[in-house]
């Protein structure tokens, strides 16, 4: 890699270290910025990786739905010993390997309808140049020094451990033998930031969520921080240390900066000021220390604003262990999408379990919830409502008559569902948000049971009442199509197609949601089933 930092323009971003400057103090920031981890390209994606990204996509799509300006970043982490080793085993150069793997990741995201705004690769120059510039600056100001490192290192984690954390010479996460390193490394004065980190956790508890992770990070830092080895000389696949290029950077020092380089750090100050700091770094709990200790310390050293929230979710487990390729338990998202579709896939991983805690994956649970919530509650609601409209009103949504209390209640239920959904999203609780939406789906089903349109259809003098009921139901389905759109964008589009309307548009939810008469006169079509039932045997 040939990187010339001399031609690199000096950045002129605010060095205000007040972490609130971003949203409250920095008038330029007008973008809600969400990130996923960048994934190692040593492997293909499995459903554990997709878990983070699907949840991030749901949150992002909801923020867009209420009219916020959002920037959603994902990408790939391409440096480090693990990638170099994998490429070597496969007989190609690391960059050739990465180039082969990136389309695999992009394909999965496309299939899962991940609406990222940018995909950063850490081998791109827009990343490596600002990374070198920042590290050089930390060196120049005395935050980086040369010393000897001795201690355990897990290549699978690409992480250093304390000797006390290693039992039987095994990495606590991968349960594979660690390497014991002894080499001259550059060190980042992480220990110098311990007091400020502790103050950060105390004054801004929302910096680490959920609480259990905050406590974990807090006691880790309270226990004393060691300076961090940030360079390696035993291999060369990494960003060179600019003042001593026989060293390459420790992969995390490079990787974490994807969050700033992707939004213009060191390249586009105006854009950077509009976007940084990140509002939400969504990660798995395995990479909490890097995000909640190393990253804020690096940003403090660099004089940059700190992200608002690092949210660490739990693991998808198989047999009680983190699902991973290393454990041979990784399931490809494609396998599940083949059976459940992208909507069924997304719904499951948003709705099942509590975001933040570990959750065991099982085909049976996935099929059961899919059949109950999607095929029965929502799918049948759409198909029976459109069938009745087709049969009784030539498939044209009729003019309603005077509403009764039942219709008023249904409208109120939609408003309540939207409010509850928003409150849950803001608490980073996708499952709770969808529970609110599906409470509304069930309320519409109850409304149909209570008003019994099939009986009304048999009584000629009840024609206006029948029109009121079916128009009300179609309108409720339109509202549902909006509320499900962040979770199930494709189902939302298909439902709206059957209602004879365009996909959810850019209007904020507050304008698009209220029940009205916009569907009156629209021709509905009873298309193919939105959520065909899945037989459990099929999933064995």
Options 32, 40, 153, 311; binder of ligand MSP; rule CB under 6 A? 40
Q: From the candidates 325, 446, 522, 526, which is the catalytic residue?
A: 325
**Least distance CB 324 / ligand MSP (angstroms):** 6
Output the six-digit token pair for 518. Answer: 């916009």
Residue 174 appears among annotated catalytic residues: yes
Tokens at residue 348, please?
Answer: 């499951």
Judged by CB under 6 A, the residue of 22, 33, 37, 456 near ligand MSP is 37
Judge whether 474 counts as a catalytic residue: no
Smallest gap from residue 408 Cβ to ligand MSP (A): 43
Q: Is residue 283 within the footprint of ligand MSP (CB under 6 A)?
A: yes
Q: Which stretch binds ligand MSP (CB under 6 A): 35-43, 229-237, 339-347, 484-492?
A: 35-43
Listed in sequence order, the residues at least 6 apart from 45 whose beta carbon sits closer than 8 Å to its beta carbon are 39, 104, 105, 108, 332, 333
Q: Tokens 């309603």, residue?
A: 400
What's the closest the beta carbon of residue 114 comes to ligand MSP, in angstroms? 14
Pairing of strands 118-121, 208-209: unpaired
Rounded-to-integer distance, Cα 239 and Cα 279, Å = 27
Residues 210-269 binding ligand MSP (CB under 6 A) are 255-256, 258
Quick check: 39 binds ligand MSP (CB under 6 A)?
Answer: yes
With the C-alpha atoms ordered 386, 391, 396, 399, is the resulting torsion angle positive or negative? negative
* Span interacting with ligand MSP, options 33-41, 159-167, 404-412, 474-482, rule CB under 6 A: 33-41
Catalytic residue (choose from 79, 174, 308, 348): 174
Is 201 a residue that touches ligand MSP (CB under 6 A)? no
The secondary element (H helix, E strand) that includes residue 131 is helix 125-140
Cβ proximity to ligand MSP, 220 vs 243, nearer residue? 220
- C-beta of 19 vs 82, nearer to ligand MSP: 82
For ligand MSP, the closer CB: 255 or 491: 255
The answer to whether 307 contacts ligand MSP (rule: CB under 6 A) is no
**321 counts as catalytic:** no
Tokens at 286, concatenated: 């395995």
- Residues 284-303: x/- map of binding to ligand MSP (CB under 6 A)? x-xx----------------
Q: Minimum distance from CB of 89 to ligand MSP (Å)?
A: 17
DSSP secondary structure, 27-64, as one string:
TT---EEEE-PPEETTS---HHHHHHHHHHHHHHHHHH
How far does Cα 526 stand from its chain's mean position? 34
Whether 29 is a known active-site residue: answer no
Distance in angstroms (rounded) separating the CA atoms of residues 210 and 528: 41
Which residues 401-460 are close enough to bind ligand MSP by CB under 6 A?
none
Cα–Cα nearest to 302, from 158, 146, 193, 145: 193
Choose the stretch contacting ligand MSP; rule: CB under 6 A; options: 204-212, 321-329, 335-343, 502-510.
Answer: 321-329
Q: In whole angstroms, what separates CA 361 from the centre of its chain?
A: 18
- Residue 13 or 323: the one with the smaller Cβ distance to ligand MSP is 323
Name residue 33's beta-bridge partners: 71
Note whether 142 and 60 are within 8 A (CB).
Answer: no
* Torsion-angle region of 143 (φ positive above 0: left; ψ -120 to 50: alpha; else: beta): alpha
Among 308, 322, 348, 351, binds ligand MSP (CB under 6 A): 322
Rounded Cα distance between 414 and 527, Å, is: 25
Q: Does residue 77 interact with ligand MSP by CB under 6 A? A: yes
Characterize the bridge pairing of strands 144-154 and 159-160. Answer: antiparallel
Based on the residue annotation, tell me whether 281 is a catalytic residue of this protein: no
Tokens (6 digits) for 242: 């600019």
- Do the Cβ atoms of 512 and 505 come closer than 8 Å? yes
Length of the chain: 540
Site string (375-394) toward ligand MSP, x via CB under 6 A: --------------------
* Closest separation in Å from C-beta 281 to ligand MSP: 8
Closer to ligand MSP by Cβ: residue 77 or 422: 77
Query: Can you tell me which of 22, 48, 130, 453 binds ligand MSP, judged by CB under 6 A?
Result: 48
Minimum CB distance to ligand MSP, residue 38 (Å): 5
CA distance 61 to 224: 40
Q: Which of 19, 22, 34, 52 binds ligand MSP (CB under 6 A)?
A: 52
Q: 218 by DSSP, 3-state: which?
A: helix
Residues at the contact surface with ligand MSP, assessed by CB under 6 A = 37-40, 48-49, 51-52, 77, 255-256, 258, 283-284, 286-287, 315-316, 322-324
Which residues are annotated as catalytic? 46, 49, 154, 157, 171, 174, 322, 325
């Amino acid at each position: 890699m040939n990187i010339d930092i001399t031609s690199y323009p000096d950045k002129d971003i605010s060095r205000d270290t007040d972490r609130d400057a971003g949203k409250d103090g920095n008038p330029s920031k007008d973008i809600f910025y969400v990130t996923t981890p960048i994934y190692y390209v040593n492997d293909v994606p499995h459903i554990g990786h997709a878990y983070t990204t699907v949840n991030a996509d749901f949150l992002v799509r909801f923020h867009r739905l209420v009219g916020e300006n959002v920037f959603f970043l994902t990408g790939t982490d391409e440096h480090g010993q693990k990638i170099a080793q994998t490429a070597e085993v496969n007989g190609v150069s690391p960059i050739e390997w990465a180039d082969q793997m990136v389309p695999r990741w992009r394909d999965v995201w496309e299939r899962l309808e991940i609406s990222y705004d940018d995909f950063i690769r850490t081998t791109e120059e827009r990343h490596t140049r600002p990374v070198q510039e920042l590290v050089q600056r930390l060196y120049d100001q005395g935050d980086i020094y040369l010393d000897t490192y001795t201690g355990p290192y897990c290549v699978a984690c690409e992480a250093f451990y304390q000797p006390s954390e290693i039992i039987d010479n095994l990495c606590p996460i991968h349960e594979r033998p660690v390497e014991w390193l002894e080499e001259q490394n550059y060190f980042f004065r992480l220990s110098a930031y311990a007091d400020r980190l502790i103050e950060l956790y105390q004054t801004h508890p929302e910096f680490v969520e959920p609480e259990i992770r905050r406590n974990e990070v807090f006691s880790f830092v309270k226990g004393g921080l060691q300076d961090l080895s940030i360079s390696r000389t035993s291999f060369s696949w990494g960003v060179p240390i600019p003042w001593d290029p026989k060293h390459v950077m420790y992969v995390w020092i490079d990787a974490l900066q994807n969050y700033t380089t992707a939004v213009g750090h060191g390249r586009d100050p105006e854009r950077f000021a509009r976007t940084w700091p990140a509002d939400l770094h969504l990660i798995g709990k395995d990479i909490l220390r890097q995000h909640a200790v190393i990253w804020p310390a690096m940003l403090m050293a660099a004089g940059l604003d700190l992200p608002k929230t690092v949210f660490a979710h739990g693991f998808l487990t198989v047999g009680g262990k983190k699902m991973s390729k290393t454990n041979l338990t990784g399931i490809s998202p494609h396998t599940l999408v083949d059976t459940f579709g992208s909507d069924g896939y997304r719904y499951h991983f948003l709705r099942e379990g509590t975001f933040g805690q570990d959750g065991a994956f099982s085909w049976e649970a996935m099929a059961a919830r899919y059949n109950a919530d999607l095929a029965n509650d929502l799918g049948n609601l759409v198909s029976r409502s459109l069938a009745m409209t087709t049969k009784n009103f030539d498939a044209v949504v009729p003019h309603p008559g005077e509403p009764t209390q039942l219709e008023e209640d249904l409208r109120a239920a939609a408003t309540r569902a939207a409010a509850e959904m928003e409150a849950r999203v803001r608490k980073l609780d996708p499952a709770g948000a969808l529970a609110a939406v599906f409470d509304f789906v069930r309320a519409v089903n109850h409304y149909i049971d209570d008003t019994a349109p099939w009986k009304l259809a048999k009584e000629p003098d009840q024609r206006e009442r029948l029109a009121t009921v079916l128009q009300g139901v179609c309108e409720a389905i339109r509202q549902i199509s909006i509320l499900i759109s962040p979770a199930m964008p494709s189902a939302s589009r298909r439902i709206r197609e059957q209602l004879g309307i365009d996909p959810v548009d850019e209007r904020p939810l507050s304008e698009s949601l209220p029940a009205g008469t916009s569907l009156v006169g629209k021709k509905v079509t009873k298309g193919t089933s939105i959520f065909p039932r899945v037989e459990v045997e099929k999933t064995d």
